[in-house]
Structure 1
Amino acid sequence: MVASPEHGRHEPGTTARSTDRMMPWPQANTLAREIARPLPGRTTPVVQAGGQVLAETIAGVRPVPAFDTAAMDGFAVSGGGPWTITGLLLAGGYDTLPSLSSGEAVEIATGAPVPPGTTAVLPYEESTVGAGTVSGVIRGRIHIRRTGETLAVGAQVAPAGRIVTATLAAAAVQAGVDDVVTHRPPAVTLLVTGDEVISDGTPGPGQVRDSFTGLVTAITTRAGGVLTASRHQPDDPATLAEALTSAGTDVIVVSGSSSAGAADHLHTLLTERSATWHVRGVACRPGHPQALAELPDGRWVVSLPGNPFAGLVAALTLLEPLLETLAGRPPKPYPTAPITGTAKLTPDAARIVPVTWTGESASIIPGSGPAGLHAAASADALAVLPATWTPSTPAHLLLLP
């Protein structure tokens, strides 16, 4: 599954923005959201489309209600009373319905179809029953839901661009819709690089556990994508090159191999493949080596720093907005809140820190660094502090997965 090469806006092998200085965090984040286009629509059973985004408007194919139906438990009556009770109608399918003549009534349940000739439904609490008859006064409301009064055939159930929720799917089914057209969820491959990384078991000397697969899976799912593979890659350029070639997904995420060290091969490999660099370093701490590139065949590559907290920052900065756009999700503003506490600011770069958030204000959790996730584990969000930030001034919040 490969994205259209039409997504690109620059000549292969070029850099979308100058790399002489790191791209400001707001610019990189916005670019990641705006550089791509939603993936094409496909027909999907509505009951299987949860979390996907409608590529086309849903219109009702049957009215709601589908027939005149009783809105209360009581008696369907015809004409003036008292009325002779002639039968009982419960909710369910009927080949034919008995007609009511003036002066007749049938006991009826909420949701049951009202018989032809019905004037009103007399609720139990407004009726008096005796000797095969029912009497009462029809007041202002007749307690009948007419065919199509909630939704007519052809009326809009939901517009394009809406995420299919359980409620939306139920409304579509009620309106007789079996299939919908949704944007295909972007497929993601994660390549976890590093000779020191192990997938399970107890790390030995010089080894660390893979902490990226769970984070990238959660962020991908939240953004409307699907992580189809997570593979460990040794610090070997030939092996990484083969993994880049064989990954047949819309997006390839590479953790590690993102800087300029002896074991960092990704940038060289992408340049050799005439990739277009859209982001090549972001002015933020931690997470500045992150990058976003586009291969000539339209696949996207998101590079995450190998330090876990820095990688988390990069995934929220570049990967999540890219995937949301590919999935067809509408842009949403980040929440903001006044931030209290202290942080070590960096000139010309954003400082990104874990915070607890009450919904009104947020407080910095001390002790975070690029490698450790322990502070982020206690946080509700990450605050993006510009170099000019001062305590108690507002900042954008990135909600944690």
Structure 2
Amino acid sequence: MSGTSWPEARRIARAAAGALPPVDAPLAEALGAALAAPLVALAALPSYDAAAMDGYAVAGAGPWRIVGRVLAGDPVPTEPLRPGQAVEIATGAPVPPAADAVLPYERTLSANGTISGYVEPGRHIRRRGEDCPAGREVLPAGTVVTPTVLGLAASLGHDWLAVHRRPRVGVVVTGTELLTEGLPAPGRVRDAIGPILPGLLQVAGAELAWTTRLIDDPEAMVEALRRPGVEVVVVCGATSAGSADHLRGALDTLGARVPVHGVQCRPGHPQLFAALPDGRFVVGLPGNPYAALVAAVTLLEPLLGRLSGRRDRPPVTARLAGSVAAHERYTRLVPVTRAGSAAVPVGHDRPASLWGAACADALAVVPPGWTGAEVELLALPAAGATPVPHLAELGGEAGRAA
């Protein structure tokens, strides 16, 4: 089989570009982007000595006389507690100076303004900076901003984050035979690739800038590839060598460099990676839906990860539990589900069917000649993945008429 080996194709896509420039984004707009600089604590966490329980802040040995009350949101008391004194206190409220512990309500006996009970010195007080001191680096550059990262950044005093600009992607869906609604008919099929890409791009940290649909026309393909305003153009279909496949000819017309011209994997062999003279990239996906998904995971995700500044993560591996036939020359991408430490093939993995991939949570990378060792797992986008807002201009643009 001709083409680039699967590992080399991934390496080429990952190494083709650098991260896009950093921008300062308010927290509400940073979700899904990658940190362009380490996240540093602007304030200590907690920023003051705080009660960890509802009860009484006490000083010295009991019994204690109640001399006040402190609620969450109150200013930090300036008057130190004296031995034998206590203040009623709420969780999160600032602890008065010289307090030794917080005695929870459920361990307290009270009578006539005096309380008694036992609490170990230092218990139920979160001291300033004990979780994180000011100035500490808590997350490295390249970390994806998840909802949890947003919460952490806010707790450390950030209103804005330095993140890499998200890559903008244009999508070209080709095929005179494709339908966008209704039932398939003789000679006509539903477009199953177009619906995959918006969510996949969002999870990969990119913005969908535009979508255009083309009939099988070479001049229309050239014009679509010339459309500006994006870093990456994804072409669905038209990557093979048939009479209706015009992507390779259009790339030749535009003087593109094509370092990946087919990949030694199944499904997804007729995939393509190219660099246009103006610095933009083209990723060509096969026309069969599952093959297109494999190609997107193989070439598009690594490219977008590098453009968006995401740091590389160590590979995840697992043993395959089930019968999988390896090929002697090419890599297989097999849909699997996780079951403990194992990955279980789900079947239904023919190139034109997304049934197996829809049941799976990862693709197992089965290398040529595999004999049973652990295999790498590539996570598939999930409904709970971090969403990323995309640009306003979405599909519906007509291609050149017949």
Using structure 1 for the length normalisation, give the TM-score: 0.85
1:397 to 377, 381, 395: 377
82 and 200 in structure 1: CA distance in 2 versus 1, 3 angstrom threshold: same
One of 144, 150, 157 as aligned partner of 1:169? 150
Whole-angstrom CA distance in 1 between matches of 2:75 and 2:217: 70
Contact kept in structure 2, 1:219 and 1:316, CA below 8 Å: no
Q: How does 1:180-219 map to 2 (within 5 A)?
A: 180-219=161-200
Q: Which amino acid aligns with 1:77?
A: V
**Does the 8 A contact of 1:128 with 1:134 survive in 2?**
yes
CA drift of 1:236 comes to 1.3
5 Å-filtered alignment, 1:171-320, equals: 171-320=152-301
What is the CA distance between 1:293 and its match in structure 2?
0.6
Q: Which runs of 5+ in 2 are unaligned?
A: 382-402
Residue number in structure 1 paired with 2:386 = none
Partner of 1:385: 366
Q: CA deviation at 1:302?
A: 0.1
Q: Within 1, Cα distance between the matches of 2:53 and 2:356?
A: 56
Query: Residue type of the partner of 1:399?
Result: A
Q: Does 1:147 find its partner at 2:128?
A: yes
- Shift, 1:71, TM fit: 2.8
Provide the alpha-carbon RMSD of the alignment: 2.7
What is the aligned length? 380
- Show the 5 A alignment for 1:95-110: 99-110=80-91
Give the letter aligned to residue 341 of structure 1: S
CA contact (8 A) 1:197 1:207 kept: yes
- Given that residues 77 and 96 in structure 2 are in contact (C-alpha distance below 8 angstroms), is that contact kept between their aligned partners in structure 1? no
Distance 1:342 1:137 in 2: 63
2:323 pairs with one of 321, 337, 341? 341
Q: CA deviation at 1:224?
A: 1.9
SS of residue paired to 1:113: coil
- CA shift, 1:194, in A, is 1.0
- When residues 85 and 248 of structure 1 are mapped into structure 2, their CA distance, relative to the original with a 3 A threshold, is same
Change in 2 beyond 3 A, CA 1:92/1:367: closer
- What whole-Å deviation, never above 9, does each CA across 1:85-144 have from its counterpart, x for those lacking one? 222222123386555445432211222112345344334345432222234456433543
Which residue pairs with 1:45 in the alignment?
26
Among 13, 24, 46, the residue aligned to 2:5: 24
Q: C-alpha distance in 1, partners of 2:107/2:326?
A: 72
Structure 1 unpaired stretches of 5+: 1-19
Q: 3-state DSSP class of the match of 1:213?
A: coil
d(CA) in 2 for partners of 1:375, 1:122: 57
* Identity rate, percent: 46
Q: 2:149, 2:326 → 1: CA distance?
A: 46
Equivalent of 2:64 in 71, 77, 83: 83
| Partner-residue secondary structure (3-state), 1:323 | helix
Provide the C-alpha distance between the structure 1 equivalents of 2:336 and 2:252, rounded to a whole number of angstroms.
37
Question: What is the CA–CA distance in structure 1 between the aligned matches of 2:10 and 2:320, rounded to whole Å?
Answer: 21
Deviation at 1:359, TM superposition (A): 4.4
- State the AA in 1 paired with 2:170: T
| C-alpha separation in 2, matches of 1:370 and 1:238 | 29
Q: In 2, distance between residues paired with 1:308 and 1:280?
A: 19
What is the Cα deviation at residue 171 of structure 1? 1.7
What displacement does 1:349 show?
Answer: 2.4
Report Cα offsets for 1:249-271 as digits up to 9, x if no partner: 11110011112222221112112
Once the two structures are TM-superposed, the CA of residue 335 in structure 1 deviates from its matched residue by 2.6
Partners of 1:356 and 1:166 lie apart in 2 by 25
Q: Deviations over 1:361-397 (max 9, x none)?
A: 445555643323334444444333334235x454433
Residue 113 in structure 1 maps to residue 117 in structure 2? no
Mapped contact 2:319–2:341 kept (Cα < 8 A): yes
* Normalised TM-score (structure 2): 0.85
Separation in 2, partners of 1:367, 1:121? 60
Partner residue, 1:60: 41
Q: Distance in 2 between matches of 1:384 and 1:103?
A: 68
1:331 aligns with 2:338: no
